[in-house]
Amino acid sequence: MEFNRGVIKPIECAKEGFELIKSDYWLLLAISLVGGLIGGISMMIVAGAMTCGIYYAYLKKIDGHSVQFDDLWKGFQWFVPGLVLMILICLPLIVIYAVIFIPFFLSASMGGRLSQDELMALLIGSLAIEFVLALIMVALHTLLIFSFPLIVDRNLGVIAAITTSAKAVMANLGGCIGLILVNFVLIIAGYLAFCVGVYFVLPIIVAANVVAYRKVFPSLDDRSHEPPPVSAYGGG
């Protein structure tokens, strides 16, 4: 699949994203919050579908179409690929927590009492592992940043979305890293605003990511805003 290279300017993406969504800011905020809440309380079972629905709404807005709250439910058309992709994203997090906390649980279950030096060594080792794995997770999530939009916008299967996203990120690596840093600054600013501010910067972050995606993968002239049938996802 063809895509543009070296076209992401992080700060401009955030500014352009806000300008494009500000007329429907509160609607998109509601879509983002409700989608995230449903995905969380469903034990992540429908989190992929909700993420697809959120991106569907933002893509419509960025592409100049009207948005409705019901656009969120369109994500269920991509339930299977969304679920598989979400599992692949969350699985490394489970591994990280297992690697960090299992040694503590094993020590407690065996009834052993660690000395202060042994406890400190275990704690430092766990923190070091957590730091390395966190870097790996950031790198992995950066490579997958375009995966959900590709499923929604280009109707790709999971494997194709992952590989295409990774190739596009590597071709726009500086811009993608800068975009992650801009998003991080926005999140920190949100937390500094009595923590609740992080929810209000969420639409800007998603919009910035979608604008960056559109710069790499321009809109297709014949793009339909109706999701494909589930049968379209018979293979990756």
The answer to the question of residue 149 being in a domain is yes
Section 222-233 average pLDDT: 51
The answer to the question of residue 135 being in a domain is no
| Residue that wins the pLDDT comparison between 82 and 223 | 82
Number of compact structural domains in the chain = 1
For residues 32 and 202, is the Cβ–Cβ distance under 8 A?
A: yes
The answer to the question of residue 123 being in a domain is no
Token representation of residue 78: 């991509």
The answer to the question of residue 133 being in a domain is no
pLDDT (0 to 100) of residue 121? 78
pLDDT at 114 over 70: no
Provide, rounded to the nearest whole percent, the portion of the chain with pLDDT above 70: 84
For residues 74 and 53, is the Cβ–Cβ distance under 8 A?
A: yes
Quick: pLDDT tens for 180-227.
999 999 999 999 988 889 999 999 999 999 999 999 999 986 444 455
pLDDT (0 to 100) of residue 95? 73
pLDDT (0 to 100) of residue 225? 47
The answer to the question of residue 131 being in a domain is no
pLDDT at 3 over 80: yes
pLDDT (0 to 100) of residue 111? 56
Q: Cα separation of 45 and 199, whole Å?
A: 22
pLDDT at 236 over 50: no
Which residue, 130, 132, 134, 121, is CA-closest to 101?
A: 130
Token representation of residue 223: 């793009």
pLDDT (0 to 100) of residue 223? 46
Q: Rounded to 5 degrees, what angle do the CA atoms 236, 56, 90 make?
A: 55
The answer to the question of residue 39 being in a domain is yes
pLDDT (0 to 100) of residue 112? 56
Q: In sequence order, which ranges of 42-78 are alpha helices (DSSP H)?
A: 47-62
Q: How many CB atoms lie within 10 A of CB 205?
A: 20
| Residue that wins the pLDDT comparison between 173 and 129 | 173
| Residue that wins the pLDDT comparison between 39 and 1 | 39
The answer to the question of residue 159 being in a domain is yes
* Average confidence score pLDDT of the chain: 87
The answer to the question of residue 101 being in a domain is no
The model's confidence at residue 110, banded by pLDDT at 50, 70 and 90, is low
- Residue 225, domain extent: 10-92+143-233
Amino acid identity, position 41: I
pLDDT (0 to 100) of residue 224? 47
